[in-house]
Amino acid sequence: MASVNPLRKLRASAGTRLARLIDYRVEERLRPFVERLEQLHRLDRHADRLTEQENCTNDHRRRLAELEAGLEDARGHLRWTRGEVERLVPHVAAQEGRLEDLRAKLALAPSADKPELAEARTLIEEVQRQHAQVRVRLTGIAQYEERLRRLEDRAGAAG
């Protein structure tokens, strides 16, 4: 029995060595295939990342086109507003000139009877009211232009 045990050990040792030799040879033959497979996995990951980047780029292009369309619309509004302001400026200047003329005339005018004085004051008050309305409109237009300018700045910074 004692001789059987060393034989078993020798058989097990030889089997293990033979298995390692076979494993080594199989691994050596399969190594190029395993490396190629790993390379293909890396390429798949890169392809997935590339697809994701293409989708992001397409989304950015779409959003940029929307912003540019909105910006062009805002520019159109700004051009119209600028034209209106340029059209109104001479009228406001004329109104201011007339108002100053009336003030000067009132300061120099001799005292009149009560009905004429009341009519002149009513006229001056009407001119002042219209002048205030024009100023309010111009202020609103200036605020609108400022908002459009900020939108253009933001859209320019985003692009």
pLDDT above 70: residue 122: yes
CA gap 13, 23 in Å, rounded: 15
Task: DSSP letter for 109, please.
Answer: S
Is pLDDT above 70 for 112?
no
With bands split at pLDDT 50, 70 and 90, how would you rate the model's confidence at 118? confident
Say how many domains are in the chain.
1
Residue 159's pLDDT band, with cuts at 50, 70 and 90, is: low
pLDDT of residue 31: 83
Q: What integer is the mean pLDDT of 145-156? A: 84
b/e sequence 45-83, b meaning 16+ C-beta within 10 Å: eeeeeeeeeeeeeeeeeeeeeebeeebeebeeebeebee
Instruction: Say if residue 52's pLDDT is above 90.
Output: yes
Residue 1 has a pLDDT of 46
For residue 43, give the amino acid letter. Answer: L
Domain residues for 152?
Answer: 4-158
pLDDT score at 49: 93
Predicted TM-score (pTM) of the model is 0.39
Does 45 or 158 have the greater pLDDT score?
Answer: 45
